Amino acid sequence: MCRPVTFEPGKKIKLEDVDPRLIDGDWDKESAKEQIARNTAVSRDLAYRLYAENRRAVLLVLQGMDTAGKDGTIRTVMTGISPASCSIASFKQPSSEELDHDFLWRIHNAVPRRGEIGIFNRSQDEDVLVVRVHNLVPKAEWRSRYERINEFERLITEGGVTIVKCFLHISHEEQRERLQARLDNPEKRWKFSKADLSERKLWPDYQEAYEDALIECNTEHAPWRIIPSDRKWYRNLAVSTLLRETLERMNPQIPESEAGLEGLVVE
């Protein structure tokens, strides 16, 4: 099996106690590659059925430190799934229009439609992470947002959206190696910014902020899963397995065709 690290709602957790190189099961890079291919094939069929059924949706949330692999996970897990049945939203610095609304306005705007698998590259939790670490809003404000996030997630869950929240957990050393790899590769250097070095110095602050977000927003209707992500192949295996199992539990059905179509011939 390949299971993410989970914990009960209300329970405390320390990220330093979770090994980012953990492997659940007897997996290696080659066997994981084969299983990922099987997972994506099954998910592709189920995504088609979900789109045809057009009654429910899935929201896959990917959160993590810089270089945790959100983009790479999306490329792997969504292989072969029709663009018509999925959507991807990345949440960066809010625009002037977004700043004129409450912090969840832009998030709610990106919730997947019925029949879709939606992916959030970063998410509503950015507003209890970056704003906290950089003191962009008062403490009383960002602390009040935990409950508002939980209420928002309950609202869309009751509206037919199944939420799958994944925290891609990497080590401080692994982040250093990935940032250096970007610098050393001219074709990937565009992804590097000097600001990455400033943010890296805030690692302890971000870890504390993430721990609180994971604890405060870990609910029955939208639980967090911690994905050990120092090994990219294992990260992709864990998330693709999680998405496949979610779709299998939902078991979307192709709708009945219009009556009287049997025997018709298109001329």
Domain boundaries, the chain: 15-250
DSSP 8-state symbol, 92: -
Instruction: Output the pLDDT for position 264.
Output: 86
CA distances from 116 to 2, 66, 99, 238, 247 (A): 25, 27, 27, 21, 12
Triad 55, 88, 219: Cα angle to 5°: 65
Instruction: Output the pLDDT for position 168.
Output: 98
Tokens matching residue 35: 């299983």
Triad 259, 261, 265: Cα angle to 5°: 170
Residue owning tokens 């001329």 = 267
Instruction: Output the pLDDT for position 267.
Output: 86
Dihedral (CA of 94, 97, 99, 105) sign: negative
Angle separating helix axes 232-250 and 70-77, nearest 10 degrees: 50
Distance CA 202, CA 137 (A): 17
Instruction: Output the pLDDT for position 136.
Output: 86
Distance CA 61, CA 144 (A): 21
Nearest to 127 by CA among 113, 144, 110, 109: 144
Strand pairing class (117-121; 161-169): unpaired
Cβ density class 131-142: b for 16+ within 10 Å, e for less: bbbeeebeeeeb
Architecture of domain 15-250: 3-Layer(aba) Sandwich (3.40)
Residue 87: what are its φ and ψ, rounded to 5°?
-145, 150
Contact 119, 243 (CB under 8 A): no
Amino acid at 68: A
List, run by run, the mean pLDDT of 10-residue segments along the chain (267 residues). Answer: 89 95 95 97 97 97 96 94 91 79 91 97 89 90 95 97 98 97 93 92 96 97 97 97 97 89 85
Instruction: Output the pLDDT for position 68.
Output: 96
Distance CA 236, CA 62 (A): 12
Distance CA 60, CA 243 (A): 8
Amino acid at 56: R
Angle separating helix axes 70-77 and 29-53, nearest 10 degrees: 70
